[in-house]
Amino acid sequence: MSGFPHQLEQRSNAEALCDALAERLEDQLRARRCGDRPLGLATGRTMEPLYAALVRRLQGWRTDELAALKACWSSFNLDEYRGLAASDPRSYRRFMAEQLGGPLQIPDGALRLPDGFAADGDGAAAAYGAALARSGGIGVQLLGLGSNGHVGFNEPPCEADLPCRVVSLSSATRQQNAGMFGGDPAAVPSSAITLGLQEILAAEEIHLVVTGAAKAAILRRLLAARQPDPQLPASWLLRHSRVWLWADAPALAPPLA
């Protein structure tokens, strides 16, 4: 295996990168037809400028074109925390409503996320995986990169055949995401529902987005990988032939001497 990535899209900063990726997504959305495979969406700080750029572009569409896109909208998010109500400002459902669903007025139910508030987490995960399978699997998948190499909430160690399921969050991830929880890692939910590498690797096309100096160390590890390594979940993307890595200069910077 020859190493990662198959295609590298490099830009000087996150803003330029998000605008270029938003342009590509816009082209793909223009070509969309009802019944096409759903979009695979991600949350996290990396995605905020991307959704802002995409919303700006889509708001420039003709009213009838945008209405047609929304009428056929179908997306599945990667993951959701367990134990947060849908209305909780820290839930990924709220994140998506604020970043994309609200600004574009996407119809309720078309922008899907796992039900993290269900009492039966395993049942909710199985139902979400089954709903995605009935929709034909992901078409275009957006991914961020966790500082420990996770994608979605697939924490290391992680195998490629794992499906949508309930997962425990590592202390590294709870630390990474503490910002939304008053800076307290202990306040971050200890579990989540995530699509697995099984569903992610079945996507037709994957865009991994990595920006900022805080991701430089984990991106270096990923770029050095020659074989998938369960300790680095993102390295399973080596198995997929249509992966684009979108990285900005701070994320690609060499370590300080």
| Residues with catalytic function | 79, 148, 150, 155
Q: How far apart are CA 145 and CA 233, in angstroms?
A: 10
Q: How far apart are CA 136 and CA 76, in angstroms?
A: 11
Measured from the CB of residue 68, what is the shortest distance to ligand GLP in angstroms? 29
**Contact between 80 and ligand GLP per CB under 6 A:** no
Q: How far apart are CA 221 and CA 235, in angstroms?
A: 9
**Amino acid (one-letter) located at 63:** T
Measured from the CB of residue 15, what is the shortest distance to ligand GLP in angstroms? 15
Measured from the CB of residue 64, what is the shortest distance to ligand GLP in angstroms? 33
Is residue 153 packed enough to be buried (19+ CB in 10 Å), middle (13-18) or exposed (0-12)?
buried
By beta-carbon proximity to ligand GLP, the closer residue of 20 and 69 is 20
By beta-carbon proximity to ligand GLP, the closer residue of 234 and 238 is 234
CB under 6 A: which stretch of 42-50, 55-63, 83-91, 237-245 binds ligand GLP?
A: 42-50
**Contact between 177 and ligand GLP per CB under 6 A:** yes
Among 75, 91, 148, 173, binds ligand GLP (CB under 6 A): 173
How many degrees, rounded to 5, is the angle at CA 155 between CA 133 and CA 13?
A: 90
Measured from the CB of residue 33, what is the shortest distance to ligand GLP in angstroms? 28
| Rg, Å, the chain Cα set | 17
By CB under 6 A, the count of residues binding ligand GLP is 13
Residues with Cβ within 8 Å of 252's Cβ and at least 6 positions away in sequence, in order, are 10, 216, 219
* Binding positions for ligand GLP, rule: CB under 6 A: 42-46, 78-79, 144, 146, 152-153, 173, 177
